[in-house]
Structure 1
């Protein structure tokens, strides 16, 4: 058995294994995983193709390639995800932030400025992608975010520390239950709740993500409607919420039963309905 491998040989090995299992961008992902193991940027790998990899690091790399070939999300393997121009910590137990959620962040940033919001809440903080970034960009404002998952709250806490978001308070709580005692008059409520219909067939990588952060009930939109009602009952003037591409009619129909000033739907990068902004 050959004991010494160069960086170039390892990259080719990784790319071949990933390609055989239908992983998109196999060479790129091989580079990302080897760079993670060696703590080197991808460009450094290309500048040191002939460098020999120590056996311990090579075995670590091969183990990651094997796990990725089983469709484990690469974000979990390297404990990092690119989101809104930043690198966030993410690990098992927290949903991996998606690019379409960046639109929700931008909508929130715009509304915070336009409507002078000072107290913002988020339901289902997950990795903290939304609240941590918003809080770090608005250090004078007050942010509160809840989640029922200890693993998700750990992710959010790590990112809170990483980005210095000291104005964000995390709560282990369902919905806004934490505010029953605090009675904070929030100006804006944010949520990216589970909105996939139970029983829907998902891509292989999603089986590694927390299922309670994906499935929203038998119809998929149950939590969406509950959050809308909660925002109305708690007299929170603005709600920004992500939703499934096929849930516009359900949201519109439900809001017809509640007095509100305006309702705007927004689309994702594929042109599909992906969220809404409502003013009560």
Structure 2
């Protein structure tokens, strides 16, 4: 099998995807450990049997709609490449907006002690640590999933983020006394009864489903911030949860509550100041 034939084979198998040729090329380049441009300049080169079999296995995984990020074990976020595996939710581009909002709060309000609930692969805390290298920031990030924490651990080591401490814990149970200036989270916020597209079935379900209504964990995070006297909270949320957040915070004496939108103009998160 030549490179050209392999690309055609993969594209045919992946015909139900939006970009079958591109994804076939990406997977073959990964197998051969070559840039994609190499495939076009060496299209008649024969692929050895080992690489042929490996490529076919990856195509089979992608044909079943397994996310390509899990297959390649890497994901791009905020101009950086992070390790990712099945134990952690794949970062979405809209979460970069949360990072931008948090970065502004850190800069303008001089926040130094930052907590993150549901750290996942670590992309939020790590990106903020990299953006504010000159500041003496401390991050304390928790997750109930050991698999997700492994992803976060690998990424903190990759980017040499020694100011991020990870905890296998729910919410802020790892420390009942420490004061935090800012609480961040991209928590599960999908209703339990929601039927998800096939690709999402490969992702950790506990990182997606937020309860019977979907907003239960969001409410708990806000309540924790109130009880712990954390002045700022930034959370991602579902596009239809504005009224739920407004109703829940109505009697919590918040100073300000702002909602931010994603690139489609839909509500994507909120910022609370207590």
Q: Same fold (TM over 0.5)?
A: yes
Two-structure CA RMSD over aligned residues (Å): 0.9
1:68-124 CA-to-partner distances (Å, cap 9, x unmatched) read: 111111100000111111111100110000111110011111111011111111000
1:46-89 CA-to-partner distances (Å, cap 9, x unmatched) read: 22212211110111001110111111111000001111111111
The question of whether the paired residues in 2 share the 8 Å contact of 1:136 and 1:164 is answered with no
* Alpha-carbon distance in structure 1 between the residues aligned to 2:187 and 2:13: 35
* Alpha-carbon distance in structure 2 between the residues aligned to 1:40 and 1:18: 21
1:207 has 2:201 as partner:
yes
- Of 131-140 and 229-238, deviating more is 131-140
* Alpha-carbon distance in structure 2 between the residues aligned to 1:184 and 1:35: 48
TM-score, length basis structure 2: 0.97
1:33 has 2:27 as partner:
yes
| Unaligned ranges ≥5, structure 1 | none
1:145 has 2:141 as partner:
yes
Structure-to-structure mapping, 1:90-109, within 5 angstroms? 90-109=84-103
* Alpha-carbon distance in structure 2 between the residues aligned to 1:17 and 1:29: 11
Among 155, 162, 174, which residue is 1:178 paired with? 174
Q: Which residue of 2 aligns with 1:65?
A: 59
* Alpha-carbon distance in structure 2 between the residues aligned to 1:95 and 1:73: 11
Structure-to-structure mapping, 1:162-173, within 5 angstroms? 162-173=158-169
* Alpha-carbon distance in structure 1 between the residues aligned to 2:173 and 2:262: 30
Among 182, 193, 196, which residue is 2:187 paired with? 193
Provide runs of 4+ in structure 1 moved above 2 Å: 136-140
* Alpha-carbon distance in structure 2 between the residues aligned to 1:158 and 1:210: 18
Structure-to-structure mapping, 1:1-280, within 5 angstroms? 5-19=1-15, 22-139=16-133, 140-180=136-176, 183-280=177-274
- Of 80-89 and 187-196, deviating more is 80-89
